[in-house]
Amino acid sequence: MEQVRVEQVIAHPVAEVWAVLSSFGGLRGWIPRLESCSLDGAGVGSVRTVTVAGYTVQERLETCDPAAHVISYAVLPPHHFPADDVVGTTRLTGTSDGRTKVEWWCEANVVGSREEFVAVVERLYRASIRGLDRFLAS
């Protein structure tokens, strides 16, 4: 099992970040190159279908814990990642100065190039966190 982790502190209170992040189908406005996002169901077990930059993927909500500010989702096959059993998790932690530390990691069984997998996930997560930061600043 491979893990790829990205961490960044953004200048917004954890409650504001959580309000955006915990809306599982609410990616519009902050995910770069998002073409569409639809949600089937509600709460844990719901599935969002996301198209970004020409790639479509379905993700099932596995965990949404407002007390711990943790959300996790399974990426359902078929998908374009060179890996199986892909699970993404995001945890928010408030800082003493009112900002939020965003930790976003992915665990998967890599079946292709490890370097390609790491590069794709890191690029996606970093761009998404920057997009979230810009969205909250606007």
Note the pLDDT tens digit of each residue in 51-86. Answer: 998 899 999 999 999 999 999 999 999 988 889 999
Q: pLDDT digit string (tens) for 29-46? A: 999 999 999 999 999 999
CATH of span 2-24+62-137: 3.30.530.20
Q: Domain map of the chain by residue range?
A: 2-24+62-137
Per-residue 3-state assignment (H helix, E strand, C coil) for the chain: CEEEEEEEEECCCHHHHHHHHCCCCCCCCCCCCEEEEEEECCCCCCEEEEEECCEEEEEEEEEEECCCCEEEEEEECCCCCCEEEEEEEEEEEECCCCCEEEEEEEEEEECCCHHHHHHHHHHHHHHHHHHHHHHHHC
